Structure 1
Amino acid sequence: MNHYLIDIPARIGLFPLLIVQALQVRRRALKLPEAAGPRFGEDGTGSELKLLILGDSSAAGVGVAHQDQALSGQLVRRLGQNHRVTWRLEARTGATTRDALTRLDRLGPERFDIAVVALGVNDVTRAVPLRVWLAQQERLILRLQQSFAVRHICLSGLPPMGEFPLLPHPLRWVLGRQARRLDTHLRSLADSYPAVSVTSLAFDLSVDHMAEDGFHPGPEVYAAWADMLMGQIGDFTP
């Protein structure tokens, strides 16, 4: 049964309430800064590995004070145990997949062995249609492979937005359903491309593990995310 078709009447009936809740969340939400610290560098010892991290506020480290605690620092530290990692972080709060494509257009010619992508939450909150979002994700995959010679692309799946402490019901239910829908189709898209994987973000998103805004990861979640990515990256490191 098509669950999307089931959702449509509920969304229509709830639309006025959803708009009110979305505006209230935006007005009351605690605005946290992106993590401080470098956005590129070299670290570790061993064989050479070039890493690109591309994404939104979660990739930018919102929720922790410094990039050392964020995804970039956690991942580079793990990879640096066996590799000399040259890394670059291209991320911005509020970025959608479309924004990330524009950001790639501004990068000069460069080769990366691994690309980690963290996008989708802002596409959900901005109600980007599934068809449009999938087309943009496919363009992103092709751009990374063709223009940056990426050997393996690690797409991060959509987090369980239906568990975000910040969001009230029924807004939480609606966004959670849409996030699951995008995640399912993202996995199908990845299956059609070689050297593209999707990392599940099935984290514990209880208040104790989230940032104080109730929307972004805390240090424990970033560490768990890096561990999950290491499982995806391992077979593609030189």
Structure 2
Amino acid sequence: MPLALKLALAPLLVAQAVATRRGAPRLPEAEGPREGRVGEGDRLSLLIVGDSSAAGVGVATQDEALAGHLTRTLAREAQRRVQWQLIAKSGITTAQALALARELRPMPAEIAVAVLGVNDVIDQVRPSRAVQQRAALADWLRHAAGVRHVVFAPLPPVHRFPRLPQPLRHVMGAEARAHDEAMARWAATRDDVSHVPIALDLGVEHMASDGFHPGEPVYRATGEALARYIATRLTPPA
């Protein structure tokens, strides 16, 4: 969006953002263990790092959230025993995710999945700066946790979020696409990083009650898509 138009719309966008936040129910993170083991076979260690979408906001338990669907599908598709750990917090940016990982000291892992970006858009982080922060996260995971490959989930199609009014939905959607495209271009330059595009249905019935966070159908589709990518592209035969 042209800067002049964005500036002209700024008062309306701010008012819509404030009203949307005040009117939306504040949903908790999903309950349940944030580490575990699933499946049989040779061990495959997986680290999941992210924001509210990684933490499972919008569903009741981690079994229904991204971590549950991702790890179960990965164990089945790869025929491996998946040892996993979740490091996630609602509302965090990419830079804050790195700080959280440093604080919590993740387990050693072969593969990491990062689910981040919407809060970078909300906080008006430039796409180029967000890419730098993603690179810092990937580099730290490689050196501190032994991760050999980081899989970045795409930003969701914010322009289709039913809770957001227009023109806020259009503006945030355009910025989310810019972030996602920048991430995809950067990931293509590295052998140890992937960006996995995922087509999602985002009708009201697919979303959480706040109209902003994923519902169980979205977590299932995302987890299964990421798991199949890891199983087919990144996992050596058992």
- Structure 1-normalised TM-score? 0.94
Q: C-alpha displacement at 1:61, in angstroms?
A: 0.5
CA drift at 1:144: 1.5
User: Is residue 20 of structure 2 the alignment partner of residue 22 of structure 1?
Assistant: no
Report the CA distance between 1:112 and its aligned residue: 0.6
Any residues of structure 2 matched to 1:172-183 within 5 Å, and which?
172-183=169-180
Q: Which moved more, 1:207-216 or 1:224-233?
A: 224-233
| Contact 1:158–1:201, Cα closer than 8 Å, also in 2 | no
Q: 1:22, CA displacement in angstroms?
A: 0.7
- Cα distance per residue 1:140-192 (max 9 Å; x no partner): 11111222221221101111101001100000010000000000000011011
Deviation, 1:69, is: 0.6
2:93 alignment counterpart: 96
Partner of 2:111: 114
Residue 137 of structure 1 pairs with residue 137 of structure 2: no
Instruction: Report the equivalent of 1:72.
Output: 67
Question: TM-score of the superposition, structure 2-length normalised?
Answer: 0.94
The alpha carbon displacement at 1:7 in A equals: 2.2
Other structure's SS at 1:59 match: helix
Q: Give the secondary structure class of the aligned counterpart of 1:26.
A: helix
Give the aligned partner of residue 147 of structure 2: 150
Shift of residue 45, structure 1, vs aligned partner: 0.5
Counterpart pick for 1:221 among 194, 218, 222: 218
Give the Å deviation of 1:199: 1.6
2:232 is aligned with 1:237: no
Aligned: 1:167 with 2:164:
yes
- Which of residues 205, 218, 221 in structure 2 aligns to 1:208? 205
> What is the alpha-carbon distance in structure 1 between the residues aligned to residue 177 and residue 88 of structure 2?
23
Give the Cα separation in 1 of the matches to 2:55 and 2:224: 18
Provide the rounded CA distance (Å) in 2 between the counterparts of 1:43 and 1:141. 25
Deviations 1:77-102 (A, max 9, x none): 11222111111000011011011110
Structure 2: runs of 5+ lacking an equivalent: none
* Percent identity for Structure 1 against Structure 2: 46
1:61 maps to which residue?
56
After TM superposition, the runs of 4+ consecutive aligned structure 1 residues lying more than 3 A away are: 107-110
Q: Is the 8 A contact 2:128 2:182 kept in 1?
A: no
Q: Is the 8 A contact 1:54 1:90 kept in 2?
A: yes
SS at match of 2:132: helix
User: What RMSD in Å do the two structures reach over aligned CA positions?
Assistant: 1.3
Counterpart of 1:214, as a letter, is G
Q: Which residue does the alignment assign to 2:182?
A: 185
Counterparts of 1:138 and 1:80, CA distance in 2: 28
User: Retained in 1: the 8 A contact 2:85–2:107?
Assistant: no
Amino acid aligned to 2:43: E
- Indicate if the aligned counterparts of 1:42 and 1:84 stay in contact, CA closer than 8 A: yes
Alpha-carbon distance in 2 for matches of 1:181, 1:152: 24
Structure 1 residues 205 and 109, CA, compared in 2 at 3 Å: closer, same or farther?
closer
State which drifts further: 114-123 or 135-144: 135-144
Distance 2:127 2:65 in 1: 29
Gaps in structure 1 of 5+ consecutive residues: 1-5
Q: Do 1:154 and 1:232's aligned partners in 2 also have CA atoms closer than 8 Å?
A: no
Name the CA distance, whole Å, in 2 between partners of 1:152 and 1:30.
36
Other-structure match for 1:3: none
Count of aligned residue pairs for this structure pair: 233
